[in-house]
Amino acid sequence: MAGTGNSTKASKQTTNTKKKRSRAPKKPAKSITTFRSAKEWLYGLVDVERTRTSRVNPEIFKLDRMSALLVKLDSPQDELKCIHIGGTNGKGSTVLMLDSALRACGLTVGTYMSPHLEDVRERVGVGGQPISQHFFAQHMAKVEAAANALPKKYGQPTFFEAMTALAFLHFAEQAVDIAIIEVGLGGRLDSTNVIKPLISAVARVGLDHTQFLGDNVADIAREKAGIFKSGVPALTVPQEKGVVDAMRGVAEAAGTTLEVVADDIDFSHRFEAGERTGPHVRVGLASSRRTFEHVPVPLPGEHQAFNCGLVLAIIDRMGEHGFELPEPLVVEGLARTVAPGRMELVWREPRVLLDGAHNPSAMAALVRTLGSAAPYDSMVMVFGCSADKDVDKMLQEVAKGADKVVFTKAKGNPRAADPHDLASRFADMSHKMHQVGETIDEALKIAAQASGKGDLIVVTGSFYLVGETRKHLSLKAKRAAAEA
């Protein structure tokens, strides 16, 4: 495959000259012939993301079924050159920045991410575009056929396992130069942990999914570091106390060395604010191989500096695999990064900003960032989260940042907390104004009525809530355009 040796020089990367892999077609199951029937089968599988944690059997987290499924599909993951990215917060932003930078250098890049905001096809992308309905149906039919051929002892694959298999199939058949694979949940037992990547990287680790990963950050860090493999460079960013030591122990046991941006890798960052450029962060990173200087971080918030540093560290280590990624093209690509649902301004009158902050540390970062990234007179927060999160700590961060709060829920998330319960718990810790909107539409109307000209409406607490809001406002914009 292209992407190794001299074949990856920038002058040859502008066109993907490889022949797409010709895979002997498996007889598709009769039930999947269209995108709709593919989705129907997929959504009939166990979906841990949308199931209350109390109803999830921990035994579901194992790799033997995933491995067996991929064998039935002729192990497409073995044909890929991958970057594996885990973490609690920032892994999605890291994937998006890395994707944009590598595509600017002429590589054909595949990305596998979760969750999606509006369309399940968003999870699997090539060249910055989601998989087509045609390929989605075609590959899912193969996955279903492989699932039906598994010995009964394995049972049916989960939603995430089926999607992961589909992604590997698509990337192999599209002959991508590099596939960026985001870990779903945890790391050690995550369905994506069947690959042998070129580089493993872990973004910021925090308390989340404690029911499955452990009730302290050190234990969670060990699970996240479970993606480290022998001889594969491992990278991370500065972490809270105890996390790096826990991860180093896993790295040593796995047969690799962990490098920390800003500790083991020369890294700097500074905040700037100019009349023309506005508030932003610049970073620099240097190694024995190359140097990046004064690189603008494309996403708002000082916390994104380390995510960007992790991207540059990955790009630096890719040079060891023959990838030549010139700094000007990397910087140009970074600048074009688009991050849906992450500090995304989607409506201007009134201003509505979406951010999928889904745990206390992500919510704290959002509150810190808003003042400089999107100045406002007063902030009205539309908030909804999953019931199995650390709700009280999230609400404490909401109380610090919001002037008024409208509690609601995403109708498509069975794990969503009751907005009336959220309001009651919020009242116990804050005297700030708050109301309940039973639906996204009602919550946005309440927020708009409570907002003035210089105010900002922020929808946050869950990617499901952000996704439904995004779809609602998109439909509203289309209706308005049609009536104009």
C-beta neighbour count of 154 within 10 angstroms: 15
Beta-strand relationship, 404-407 and 82-86? unpaired
Residues 159 and 261 in one domain: yes
Q: Are 210 and 220 contacting, i.e. CB atoms less than 8 angstroms apart?
A: yes
Residues 314 and 349 in one domain: no
C-beta neighbour count of 256 within 10 angstroms: 17
pLDDT given at position 351? 95
Give helix 133-148 / helix 35-42 axis angle, nearest 10°. Answer: 50
Task: Please give the average per-residue pLDDT across 399-403, as a whole number.
Answer: 95
Q: What is the CB-side half-sphere exposure of residue 170 using CA atoms within 13 A?
A: 33
CA distances from 47 to 57, 61, 65, 363, 467 (A): 12, 12, 15, 25, 17
Number of structural domains the chain divides into: 2
Residues 77 and 60 in one domain: yes
Residues 244 and 294 in one domain: yes
Residue 210 has pLDDT above 70, yes or no: no
The b-or-e profile of 130-149 (16+ CB within 10 A means b, else e) is: bbeeebbbbbbbbbbbbbee
Last residue of a domain, one of 301, 335, 369: 335
Q: Are 238 and 198 contacting, i.e. CB atoms less than 8 angstroms apart?
A: no
Residue 4 has pLDDT above 60, yes or no: no
- Provide the edge-to-edge strand list for the sheet that holds 129-130: 129-130, 124-126, 109-112, 178-182, 82-86, 199-202, 234-236, 258-260
Residues 350 and 308 in one domain: no
Give the model's confidence band at 481: pLDDT under 50 very low, under 70 low, under 90 confident, else very high: confident
Last residue of a domain, one of 335, 367, 392: 335
CA distances from 92 to 96, 216, 421 (A): 6, 22, 30
CATH assignment of the domain containing 253: 3.40.1190.10
Residues 85 and 220 in one domain: yes
Give the model's confidence band at 52: pLDDT under 50 very low, under 70 low, under 90 confident, else very high: low
Residues 60 and 142 in one domain: yes
Q: Which domain holds residue 149?
A: 5-335
Give the model's confidence band at 58: pLDDT under 50 very low, under 70 low, under 90 confident, else very high: low
DSSP state, residue 158: P
Terminal C-alpha separation, the chain: 51
Q: Are 457 and 447 contacting, i.e. CB atoms less than 8 angstroms apart?
A: yes
Residues 69 and 117 in one domain: yes
Residue 325 has pLDDT above 70, yes or no: yes
Residues 326 and 356 in one domain: no
Task: Please give the average per-residue pLDDT across 63-68, as a whole number.
Answer: 96
Last residue of a domain, one of 335, 368, 401: 335
Residues 151 and 231 in one domain: yes
Residues 372 and 313 in one domain: no
331-381: per-residue pLDDT in tens? 999 999 999 999 999 999 899 999 999 999 999 999 999 988 888 999 999
Residues 274 and 196 in one domain: yes
18-42: per-residue pLDDT in tens? 445 545 445 444 589 999 999 999 9
d(CA 365, CA 355): 11
CATH assignment of the domain containing 466: 3.90.190.20
409-442: per-residue pLDDT in tens? 999 888 899 999 999 999 999 999 999 999 999 9
